A = this chain, B = another copy of it.
């Protein structure tokens, strides 16, 4: 990583610094390696530390750097592709169910916003299943799956006996019934958000961390059966939406520039 002069340019210093640093981490550092600390880099480039940090902020937002307090700034690994498309990925009982770890399930009367989103009367009982998605040993997403009681009520309960009934808890009970519910449609939206307190903690990130918020509406029997709000770490995740097409194209690193 050379000293690299900062000649007078019409672009902001922090943006030029970003380019210089990007070239450096692409050519002179490998994944997981620690780059020089902020005070040294600032001195080397002849800028204030705050200006250098602005450049590092950009690269962190792009998922190219990871900063760890007390440790240093590391070159990040490429983002992991996380499939979210087919309903088997997210619906309880799906083929890749093991990716999701259920945390708990709370049942409460629906507040106005939630009731409206689910299309149920305010005050109807809604079960909310909290889950974590673990990919390659790392928690990459949290999810709140909201299901109205009136939907779950349609599914015949399976009576457990003896020890099995003892071990059963509320979360498992709701999940088991959802597994037997036929989902015949889903619709998604993706947008940028930030992780707040609890969410950030679950994702092992500080508050304000950028996340990709995925809102999924599951339909069953001609009505909205469930609403899932998932937040994925934007720094480490690339969401993939597969389709059962005729060919299975291999995922590649995104190409940003044409010629």
Q: How many whole Å from A217's CB to the nearest CB in chain B?
A: 5
A11-B207, A15-B208 known; A253-B117 Cβ under 8 A: yes
Q: Mark A211-228, 1 if CB is under 8 A from B, else 0.
A: 011010101001110010
Q: Are B15 and A207 in contact (CB under 8 A)?
A: yes
Number of residues on chain A facing chain B (CB within 8 A): 70
Q: Which of A61, A79, A116, A146: most chain B Cβ within 10 A?
A: A61
Is A188 interfacial (CB-CB < 8 Å)? yes
On chain B, the residues within 8 Å of A213 by CB distance are 254, 256
Is A136 interfacial (CB-CB < 8 Å)? no
A210-B61, A255-B227 known; A238-B189 Cβ under 8 A: yes
On chain B, the residues within 8 Å of A193 by CB distance are 62, 256
Q: Are A188 and B241 in contact (CB under 8 A)?
A: yes
User: Can you tell how many copies of this chain the complex includes?
Assistant: 2
For chain A, residues 56 to 108, give those with C-beta under 8 angstroms from any C-beta of chain B. Answer: 58, 61-63, 79, 81, 85, 106, 108
Q: Apart from A61-B210, A187-B242, what 20 extra A-B contacts exist at CB < 8 Å?
A: A50-B50, A58-B194, A79-B191, A106-B259, A114-B258, A128-B258, A130-B258, A146-B258, A184-B245, A188-B241, A189-B238, A189-B239, A189-B240, A213-B254, A215-B255, A217-B249, A224-B249, A229-B255, A229-B256, A241-B241
